[in-house]
Amino acid sequence: MNTDVKIAVFGGGSWATAIVKMLCENLDQVGWYMRSAYAAEHIKRNGHNPTYISSAEFNPKQLKLSNDINELIVYADYLIFAIPSAFVKSELDKITVPLKGKVIFSAIKGIVPESGLLVGDHFFTHFNIPFEDIGVITGPCHAEEVAMERLSYLTIACKDENKAKIIAKSLSSRFIKTKLTDDVIGTEYAAMLKNIYAIAAGIAHGLGYGDNFQAVLMSNAIREMKRFVKKEQKIKRNINDSAYLGDLLVTGYSVFSRNRMFGNMIGKGYTVKSAMMEMSMVAEGYYATKSAYEINKKNKAKTPILNTVYEILYKHKNAKTAFEKLTELVD
């Protein structure tokens, strides 16, 4: 598919790499901002990311690679941000060129810690981007399976359906199917919350709980997600859709889930710091837990799983004791 719309992806991790691979199936050229000049040069020479999902191969001639964020913003019409939420603000602080007229899509599964805002709200509040020019890309979709070209599904959310269609068409291929929704807030919160529940699933596994309890935990997690999101925005949505329940399940159960892996290590007795060092990857759910907990202080939704994960990660409560208590609160 040839198109006059220029798209750039911002981020050098697994999810950003997967999105670039999807776009390269359709576009003649894809902009790619990577903070690491070494990684960018490696891709130019060798055609793969040296650090993340290196099995994904690229034609370097298809890529406009740069470690200058402003160069890629000027180049592209549509900007897809796939930077871990913990580093979003420090990267956005580098922007010196206008964002006016650009369409922003967030593939970030978390809240900006410094502002406590969803990524879309952060762009609206701090960069004056209209909500009609802000969208969300969510799963259920693991980057590693995209690299293997296994059938995967994406949900594209935007208030402007035409802009959602452009991104959907650009990402669709023989192994990627897309659907549209206008529930930008709901899908963005769901993408954040499912990482927290995946940490809970990992902790349970690390503590020795079996599949029976995991099923109960995930059943309660989707209901908890529904209560949380409903407090933030009360609109008609089917929480059983793939963007909500599907993304929760794949993140809670998949061997590729970084958040489940992180939780599993906590359940086995690792400290937060040692688990992060061992993984050498960002578990978005760790940062999301604190942000979601703070948001829910105001909303007061019933969130026993979120509260338990928060107590373990931030209050240093004993995981075994905390989960014994949680088993009495779920059904």
pTM for this entry: 0.91
Predicted confidence at residue 93, as pLDDT, reads 95
Predicted confidence at residue 232, as pLDDT, reads 86
How do residues 272-308 score in pLDDT, each as one tens digit?
999 988 886 678 899 899 999 999 999 999 999 999 9
For 179, residues 6+ apart whose C-beta sits below 8 A from its C-beta are 153, 154, 155, 156, 168, 242
Predicted confidence at residue 216, as pLDDT, reads 97
Coil, strand or helix at 141: coil
Predicted confidence at residue 3, as pLDDT, reads 57
How do residues 191-228 score in pLDDT, each as one tens digit?
999 999 999 999 999 999 999 999 999 999 999 999 99
Check whether 28 has a pLDDT greater than 90.
Answer: yes
Q: Which residue has the tokens 């939420």?
A: 85
The domains located in the chain, with CATH, are 7-182 (3.40.50.720), 186-326 (1.10.1040.10)
Average pLDDT over residues 34-46: 94
Give the pLDDT band of residue 1 (cuts 50, 70, 90). Answer: very low
Q: Which of 134, 41, 85, 114 is nearest to 288 (CA)?
A: 85
DSSP assigned state of 222: H
Higher pLDDT, 235 or 323: 323
8 A C-beta contact, residue 270 and residue 284: no
Proportion of the chain above pLDDT 90, given as a percent: 83
How do residues 70-122 score in pLDDT, each as one tens digit?
999 999 999 999 998 889 999 999 999 999 899 999 999 888 988 888 899 99
Q: What angle do CA 37, 42, 47 make, to 5 degrees?
A: 135
Give the pLDDT band of residue 38 (cuts 50, 70, 90). Answer: very high
